[in-house]
A and B are shown apart, each in its own frame.
Chain A
Amino acid sequence: MKNLFSNVALSVAVLAMTSGMAGAASKGVSDGVVKIGVLTDMSGVYSTLGGKGTQVGVEMAVKDFGGKVLGKPIQVIGADHQNKADIASAKAREWFDNEKVDMITGLLNSGCALAVQKLGGEKKRITMNTGAASTELTNKACTPYSIHYVYDTYALGKVTGQAVVQNGGKSWFFLTADYAFGHSLEENTTKFVKAGGGKILGSVRHPLSTADFSSYLLQAQSSGAQIIGLANAGGDTTNAIKQAREFGIDKKGQTLVGLLIFDTDIKSLGLSVAQGMQFTSGFYWDRDKATRDFAKRYYAIHKAMPTMDQAGAYSATMNYLKAIKAAGTDDPDAVMAKLKSMDISDFFAVNGKIRADGRMVHDMYLMEVKKPSESKGEWDLLKIVKTVPAADAFMPLSESTCSMVKK
């Protein structure tokens, strides 16, 4: 009797498992809805450059796509990870397990991004990262379901580092934010400065969210370096630049180079302080007619021009939905195969392609901040100095340590 019972139980279990697997591989949309989660910093230091604006980008894409894919509705939900990896990971787990979220995007902050991407890999759900910068996402930490969409520290360090060295900025001193992102940015930039014949005279690591940079700036000044490289982001970068002006460092022949700068940072500094600075970006709203058309529609909703994270979230969502349509299913494996084989080409991405390691490579831009006299409006902030082709901007696939890259 006992034997019979356990046999029945076993066969039920086997049946349940196999039917579950069959369900996943079948055509169409699982559980009747495609759900996209925007998990990012909605209230903290990065919320202006990402935040609700990222969700706006995703919602616009869904609307433009028609609100339905394969006849099933598309839903967007958002949450604040507060820049804490444990909160990000708990929220993502809840979304994957209970809310039937199919894809998570946004994910500003490398710490949060790495945690959620790892979980996505375990749960076989797609993450399309538009916010975080660390190259680790497409190297050691890559998964079959992760895509890094907009930019990374390698591209930032390479494009800006090479351009500055070519212009004669041979000796560098770094002010580096003391966490994974800052270290990775400094390391990547150093490599290209040295390759171009430049040298590094020193660096100082400051805690995240430092209000007063004067002490570090004096150290940079006494090093005698021509270039003070800022391997930090957001408020740290703007404070450092502002205070360098105050101490007259720029007048004594030293130049500050911000390695990660968003449009919102330029707004924060004002053109009179920021003018002439060069940096690398994956997107600028005023590049051509297509970007301007998008930006105008975006502005009407969000009352600010889109940053590269926010525009990237639109593009990522749109291409995700296209891939579902082309694959005829929202099954993650089929969608990822589609995403990695199709061309990514829209107003955001030029010559875009998603590689085996999950890196979306596309043209990057060397930007320069306009003089106040050149600016014609509140958001007329930058000009494109140089377009760097996708193949030159990002880490070559052959250097990637991602386990999915066949060597």
Chain B
Amino acid sequence: MELSFQTVMSQVMLGLNNGAFYAILSLGLAVIFGLLNIVNFAHGALYMLGAYVALLGFTSLGPLIGMPDFHLNYWAALIVAPLVVGAVGIVIEKTMLSRLYKFDHLYGLLLTFGLALIIQGVFTNFFNVSGDPYEAKPEILNGAVNLGFMMFPKYRLWVIVISLAVCFGTWYVIERTKLGSYLRAGTENPELVKAFGVNVPLMITLTYGYGVALAAFAGVLAAPIYSVSPVMGSEMIITVFAVVVIGGMGSIMGSIVTGLLLGMVEGFTKVVYAPASSTVIFLIMVVVLLVKPAGLFGRES
């Protein structure tokens, strides 16, 4: 395939679309790592959980509550799924993670990895691993728009726009508002912030809840285009971790920008040499770790 301007631009757009997912997932990881020092391996499973909340809300919730005609529509799912999964996250933080802060990173990593395996195993037991169809895509997002160089599905455009909005909104809150400064201070020196009368444990709990709610949000966004399957998260999470490492663990802006960029690099690789598309990100990771071990946007300590 020759690399015309049109081809390159279409691939860049598609890459941006995948990059939007990477960005929103790696952002959640960065927030959690930055403020809690937890490497949240359950992120992929919670992303999957978000997609399933949307799916089951649409297909099974109505019959379950005795109203067979009730379907949780897509827009509602975008709000409900993050809330439900966020609540699950809060329970996980309160009952398990909060006991591990005094130990090494490794313990949090092992715990969340175990949780991911359990959640994924339970879902594999009950659902079709090849995926289930989610048919609640709203009418208004059907069809395609002409971008000049390609016909781009409206839904994917929507994913790019809303993801960017959520990402930069999160960045703004953490880096530019008073609430954000509490959060950052709370992780820097919890004792001192407590002395000012701020409820640090609650803040940390809510941060974890928000981080995993972001994962669930991405899950709902993914439901209409990718298959909703128990393994959707485990396939995604490894790439996303590579993105976080390249961007610099814990760097909010780093994770967003790196996510988008790597999505595009990956998209471009798919045209140039497709078999390498699943490895190109890891190749970049190796190079970055050699040249700049703290990541592109990370601060050397």
- Is A178 in contact with chain B by the CB < 8 A criterion? yes
- Is B199 in contact with chain A by the CB < 8 A criterion? no
> Can you identify 22 A-B contacts, CB atoms within 8 angstroms?
A45-B231, A48-B128, A48-B129, A204-B274, A206-B275, A207-B275, A207-B277, A209-B231, A210-B277, A210-B278, A211-B226, A214-B14, A214-B156, A218-B14, A234-B129, A238-B227, A239-B227, A242-B227, A247-B151, A267-B130, A268-B128, A268-B130
- Is A269 in contact with chain B by the CB < 8 A criterion? yes
User: Contacts A204-B274, A268-B132; is A235 near B155 (CB within 8 Å)?
Assistant: no
Task: Name B151's contact: one of A48, A248, A267 (CB within 8 Å).
Answer: A248
A204 vs B130: C-alpha distance in the bound complex, in angstroms? 22
The total of chain A residues at the interface (CB under 8 A) is 40
Q: Which residue of B lies closest to A274 (CB)?
A: B133
Interface string of B225-265 (1 = CB under 8 A from A): 11101011001100000000000000000000000000000
- Is B1 in contact with chain A by the CB < 8 A criterion? yes
Q: Which residue of B lies closest to A204 (CB)?
A: B274
Q: How many A-B residue pairs have CB under 8 A?
A: 109
Q: Which residue of B lies closest to A219 (CB)?
A: B1
- Is B114 in contact with chain A by the CB < 8 A criterion? no
In B63-122, which residues have CB < 8 Å from any A CB? 121
**Does the CB pair B231–A219 fall under 8 Å?**
no
A267 vs B131: C-alpha distance in the bound complex, in angstroms? 8
Query: Apart from A48-B130, A268-B128, what are 19 other A-B pairs with CB-CB below 8 Å?
Result: A45-B231, A205-B274, A205-B275, A206-B274, A206-B277, A207-B279, A212-B14, A214-B14, A214-B156, A218-B7, A238-B227, A239-B227, A242-B133, A262-B130, A265-B130, A267-B132, A268-B131, A268-B133, A270-B133
User: Contacts A239-B226, A242-B227, A246-B225; is A212 near B128 (CB within 8 Å)?
Assistant: no
Could you say which residues of chain B place their CB within 8 Å of the CB of A347?
A: none
Could you say which residues of chain A place their CB within 8 Å of the CB of B124?
A: 43, 47
A14 vs B141: C-alpha distance in the bound complex, in angstroms? 79
Tell me, rounded to whole Å, the shortest Cβ–Cβ distance linking A324 to chain B: 33
- Is B292 in contact with chain A by the CB < 8 A criterion? no
**Does the CB pair A207–B278 fall under 8 Å?**
yes
Could you say which residues of chain B place their CB within 8 Å of the CB of A3?
A: none
In A244-281, which residues have CB < 8 Å from any B CB? 246-248, 262, 264-265, 267-270, 272-273
Q: Which residue of B lies closest to A304 (CB)?
A: B128
Top 3 A-B pairs ranked by shortest CB distance?
Answer: A207-B278, A270-B133, A215-B270
In A270-318, which residues have CB < 8 Å from any B CB? 270, 272-273
Could you say which residues of chain B place their CB within 8 Å of the CB of A216?
A: 270, 274
A178 vs B278: C-alpha distance in the bound complex, in angstroms? 11
A235 vs B151: C-alpha distance in the bound complex, in angstroms? 25
- Is A128 in contact with chain B by the CB < 8 A criterion? no
Task: Name A242's contact: one of B144, B225, B231 (CB within 8 Å).
Answer: B225
In B129-179, which residues have CB < 8 Å from any A CB? 129-133, 135, 144, 150-151, 153, 155-156
- Is A168 in contact with chain B by the CB < 8 A criterion? no
Q: Footprint of A on B, CB under 8 Å?
A: 1, 7, 10-11, 14-15, 17-18, 121, 124, 128-133, 135, 144, 150-151, 153, 155-156, 225-227, 229, 231-232, 235-236, 267, 270-271, 274-275, 277-279
Q: Footprint of B on A, CB under 8 Å?
A: 43-49, 178, 204-207, 209-212, 214-216, 218-219, 222, 234-235, 238-239, 242-243, 246-248, 262, 264-265, 267-270, 272-273
Q: Which residue of B lies closest to A242 (CB)?
A: B227
Tell me, rounded to whole Å, the shortest Cβ–Cβ distance linking A40 to chain B: 13
A126 vs B78: C-alpha distance in the bound complex, in angstroms? 52
Could you say which residues of chain A place their CB within 8 Å of the CB of B18?
A: 212
User: Contacts A44-B231, A47-B124, A242-B227; is A215 near B129 (CB within 8 Å)?
Assistant: no
Could you say which residues of chain A place their CB within 8 Å of the CB of B150?
A: 218
Could you say which residues of chain B place their CB within 8 Å of the CB of A215?
A: 11, 14-15, 267, 270-271
**Does the CB pair A178–B275 fall under 8 Å?**
yes
Q: Which residue of B lies closest to A178 (CB)?
A: B275
Could you say which residues of chain A place their CB within 8 Å of the CB of B275?
A: 178, 205-207
A246 vs B156: C-alpha distance in the bound complex, in angstroms? 10
**Does the CB pair A269–B133 fall under 8 Å?**
yes
Q: Which residue of A lies closest to B117 (CB)?
A: A43
Q: Which residue of A lies closest to B276 (CB)?
A: A207
Could you say which residues of chain A place their CB within 8 Å of the CB of B133?
A: 242, 268-270, 273
A47 vs B150: C-alpha distance in the bound complex, in angstroms? 38
Could you say which residues of chain B place their CB within 8 Å of the CB of A267?
A: 128, 130, 132
Could you say which residues of chain A place their CB within 8 Å of the CB of B151?
A: 247-248
A326 vs B283: C-alpha distance in the bound complex, in angstroms? 58
Could you say which residues of chain B place their CB within 8 Å of the CB of A49?
A: 130
User: Contacts A235-B130, A239-B227, A265-B130; is A211 near B1 (CB within 8 Å)?
Assistant: no
Tell me, rounded to whole Å, the shortest Cβ–Cβ distance linking A190 to chain B: 18
**Does the CB pair B130–A219 fall under 8 Å?**
no
Q: Which residue of A lies closest to B224 (CB)?
A: A246
Could you say which residues of chain B place their CB within 8 Å of the CB of A239?
A: 131, 226-227
Q: Which residue of A lies closest to B1 (CB)?
A: A219
A224 vs B267: C-alpha distance in the bound complex, in angstroms? 21
Tell me, rounded to whole Å, the shortest Cβ–Cβ distance linking B232 to chain A: 7
Tell me, rounded to whole Å, the shortest Cβ–Cβ distance linking B34 to chain A: 27
Could you say which residues of chain A place their CB within 8 Å of the CB of B279?
A: 207
**Does the CB pair A247–B153 fall under 8 Å?**
yes
Could you say which residues of chain A place their CB within 8 Å of the CB of B132?
A: 267-268
Could you say which residues of chain B place their CB within 8 Å of the CB of A43?
A: 121, 124
A185 vs B130: C-alpha distance in the bound complex, in angstroms? 20
A394 vs B132: C-alpha distance in the bound complex, in angstroms? 32
**Does the CB pair A45–B278 fall under 8 Å?**
no
**Does the CB pair B277–A235 fall under 8 Å?**
no
User: Contacts A242-B225, A246-B225, A268-B227; is A46 near B274 (CB within 8 Å)?
Assistant: no
Tell me, rounded to whole Å, the shortest Cβ–Cβ distance linking B126 to chain A: 10
Tell me, rounded to whole Å, the shortest Cβ–Cβ distance linking A273 to chain B: 7
Tell me, rounded to whole Å, the shortest Cβ–Cβ distance linking A89 to chain B: 23
Could you say which residues of chain A place their CB within 8 Å of the CB of B10?
A: 218
